[in-house]
């Protein structure tokens, strides 16, 4: 799967979005869905989606929030421990990056007021558990699965004809492994059986 931007930048952007949600809801007393709507309507969300350095990486979460709310930045001390609101921002930014979707698509697929109700027990789980929830909400289907079903092949049959282990095929279809990072020989074997190009499988 091709992510929205370089992996190295994801933690920084995730921190900024998480910060904005925490401050907007806890300190500014905003309804979480109201802020989410302001966020996805702003140029800031678009800048963060594409890792626009000038409009995102060069500013703190507090500064970005002040732009969204059209206010002067405040000197706010954040909670030293992650809050449910912080977790919401953390999750939606990770999901946006992981699936390369817009923040608008992510938030409309599963509103923040519903997501925050999943703080328990999801915040104690691996982030990929909540990614699976969004995979269903966003109706994400892997290209490998699309082409496999188009050719009326089961996972077992694809494994047999391509020589790629069935566990690997399952991992690609479930998004647990990124097929775009697979060895060229592996992708070639799959594409040959599925009558498609390598590019069609990974893009």
What would the pLDDT profile of 154-185 be if each residue is shown by its tens digit? Answer: 999 999 999 999 999 999 998 788 898 899 99
Domains of the chain: 7-137 (no CATH), 143-202 (1.10.260.40)
What angle in degrees, to the nearest 10, is found between the helix axes of 184-194 and 155-162? Answer: 120
pLDDT of residue 177: 87
pLDDT of residue 174: 83
Reply yes or no on whether the pLDDT at 54 is more than 80.
no
Under the banding of pLDDT at 50, 70 and 90, the label for residue 153 is very high
Q: What is the mean pLDDT of residues 129-143?
A: 92
Nearest to 89 by CA among 132, 130, 136: 130
- pLDDT tens-digit series, residues 12-45: 999 999 999 999 999 999 999 999 999 999 999 9
Separation of alpha carbons 65 and 151, rounded Å: 48
Under the banding of pLDDT at 50, 70 and 90, the label for residue 113 is very high
């Amino acid at each position: 799967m091709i992510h929205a931007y370089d992996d190295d930048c994801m933690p920084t952007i995730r921190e900024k979005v998480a910060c904005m949600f925490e401050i907007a809801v806890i300190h500014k007393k905003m309804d979480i869905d109201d802020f989410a709507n302001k966020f996805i309507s702003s140029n800031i969300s678009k800048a963060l989606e594409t890792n626009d350095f000038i409009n995102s990486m060069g500013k703190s979460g507090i500064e970005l929030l002040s732009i969204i709310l059209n206010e002067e930045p405040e000197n706010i001390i954040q909670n030293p421990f992650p809050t449910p609101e912080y977790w919401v921002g953390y999750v939606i930014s990770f999901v946006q990056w992981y699936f390369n979707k817009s923040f608008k698509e992510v938030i409309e697929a599963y509103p923040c007021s519903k997501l925050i109700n999943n703080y328990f027990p999801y915040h104690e789980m691996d982030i990929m558990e909540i990614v699976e929830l969004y995979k269903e909400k966003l109706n994400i289907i892997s290209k490998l699965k699309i082409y496999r079903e188009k050719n009326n092949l089961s996972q077992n049959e694809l494994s047999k004809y391509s020589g790629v282990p069935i566990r690997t095929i399952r991992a690609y279809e479930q998004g647990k492994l990124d097929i775009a990072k697979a060895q060229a020989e592996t992708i070639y074997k799959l594409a040959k059986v599925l009558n498609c190009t390598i590019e069609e499988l990974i893009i």
